[in-house]
């Protein structure tokens, strides 16, 4: 008999809900984006984000059930993100999930947002992704998003080992901040990637924070270098100046991410490498990692790179099968770690 899980995700600025069957088949995946709301600020405004979640959560969940052609009584459980993320945003999703599960007599399954990003790779897409092939352990995961940059070893379902992470800005955060400096638009990642295609990645010699003998990352110095370079060009700028800046910045971020991922893949003799999170949609990053790694490298389609309910439902399925349930006293954990 099929196992159907409703996944709810509100950790940042997407109100998302999805129904996934047997941990892999997406029956629905509804996402209400707040990009236009936050674009005027060049980043997520937490108070506005939580208010927008309150307005969107009911219609998003209802639409996810309608698209899946099922009713509440056809579900086996409700899975919800309880951390990490913005406190106000997390509260909206968690409180809705609690009420829905309690009212419908369904089990409540707690899901770590980062684990959700990993389990996007277990969703069938028909696009040659990990779920369409054979994903073997141990695998190396690079999670790169607006709030996270981490390297993890996944030894088995639910078994993780932390290798390293950012000491300051996450890679996606750095993209957003530099995008604001270059005035190319929000979110910064896609905007910089697009304009960088017209630029020279060697035009500016931006620093790489290698942090030797660690798998940690640092992007604050790179961001400051971009700012200082901009301050030196108060007058007329040369042709392709912004494109060259974008390309050089992107190259500096990607080189460090790709090199450290490749080194970890060799050191720990992994079977696969998976890229997860919003920044993993960057095609230059995908190419760079694949060029340096000898094992298969998997990336989800773009819609599953950014925050979505399907990844939470997929992770929730494995946790449900492991017998993990939350009590009604479950609270948010904004600083929750995966390992």
Q: Which domains, ranges and CATH numbers included, belong to the chain? A: 4-125+303-321 (3.30.420.40), 136-299 (3.30.420.40)
Strand partners, 154: 139, 160
Beta bridge partners of 79: 7, 109
Q: Is the dihedral of CA 303, 61, 317, 98 positive or negative?
A: positive
Residue 153 CA to residue 159 CA, distance in Å, equals 8
* Contacts (Cβ under 8 Å, ≥6 apart) of 152: 118, 140, 141, 143, 160, 161, 162, 163, 338, 339
- 181 within 8 A of 159, measured Cβ to Cβ: no
Which parts of the chain have pLDDT scores under 50?
A: none
CA distance 192 to 276: 19
- pLDDT for 10 equals 98
DSSP classification of residue 112: E
Specify the DSSP class assigned to residue 10. Answer: -
- For residue range 230-261, list pLDDT tens digits in order: 998 877 778 899 999 999 999 999 999 999 99
Q: Rounded to whole angstroms, how far apart are CA atoms 25 and 19?
A: 9
At residue 269, the pLDDT reads 97
Q: What is the pLDDT of residue 22?
A: 96
pLDDT score for 236: 78
Contact yes or no for 4/19 (Cβ under 8 A): yes
57's CB contacts (< 8 A; 6+ apart) are: 8, 10, 15, 17, 92, 93, 96
What single DSSP character describes residue 205?
-
How far apart CA 320 and CA 100 sit, in angstroms, is 17
pLDDT at 319: 98
* Residue-level pLDDT at 42: 79
The per-residue pLDDT for 100 is 98
Q: What pLDDT score was predicted for residue 36?
A: 86
pLDDT of residue 184: 93
């Amino acid at each position: 008999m099929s196992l159907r899980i409703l996944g709810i995700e509100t950790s940042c600025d997407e109100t998302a809900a999805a129904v996934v069957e047997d941990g892999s088949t997406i029956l629905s995946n509804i996402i209400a984006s707040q990009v236009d709301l936050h674009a005027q600020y060049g980043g997520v405004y937490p108070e506005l984000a939580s208010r927008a979640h309150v307005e969107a959560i009911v219609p998003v969940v209802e639409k996810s059930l309608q698209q899946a052609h099922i009713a509440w009584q056809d579900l086996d459980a409700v899975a919800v993100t309880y951390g990490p993320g913005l406190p106000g945003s997390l509260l909206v999703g968690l409180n809705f999930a609690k009420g829905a599960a309690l009212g419908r007599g369904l089990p409540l399954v707690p899901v770590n947002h980062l684990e959700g990003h990993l389990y996007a790779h277990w969703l069938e897409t028909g696009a040659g992704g990990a779920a369409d092939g054979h994903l073997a352990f141990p695998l190396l995961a690079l999670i790169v998003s607006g709030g996270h940059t981490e390297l993890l070893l996944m030894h088995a379902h639910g078994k993780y080992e932390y290798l390293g992470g950012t000491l300051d800005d996450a890679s996606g955060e750095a993209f957003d901040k530099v995008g604001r400096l270059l005035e190319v638009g929000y979110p910064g990642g896609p905007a910089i990637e697009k304009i960088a295609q017209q630029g020279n990645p060697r035009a500016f010699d931006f620093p790489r924070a290698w942090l030797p003998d660690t798998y940690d990352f640092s992007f604050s110095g790179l961001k400051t270098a971009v700012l200082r370079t901009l301050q030196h060009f108060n007058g007329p700028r040369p042709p392709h100046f912004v494109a060259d800046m974008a390309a050089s910045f992107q190259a500096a971020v990607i080189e460090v991410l790709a090199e450290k991922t490749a080194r970890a893949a060799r050191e720990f003799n992994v079977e696969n490498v998976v890229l997860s999170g919003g920044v993993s949609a960057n095609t230059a990053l995908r190419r760079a990692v694949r060029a340096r790694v000898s094992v298969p490298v998997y990336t989800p389609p773009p819609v599953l790179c950014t925050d979505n309910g399907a990844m939470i439902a997929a992770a929730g399925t494995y946790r449900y099968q492991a017998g993990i349930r939350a009590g009604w006293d479950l609270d948010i954990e904004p600083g929750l770690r995966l390992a």
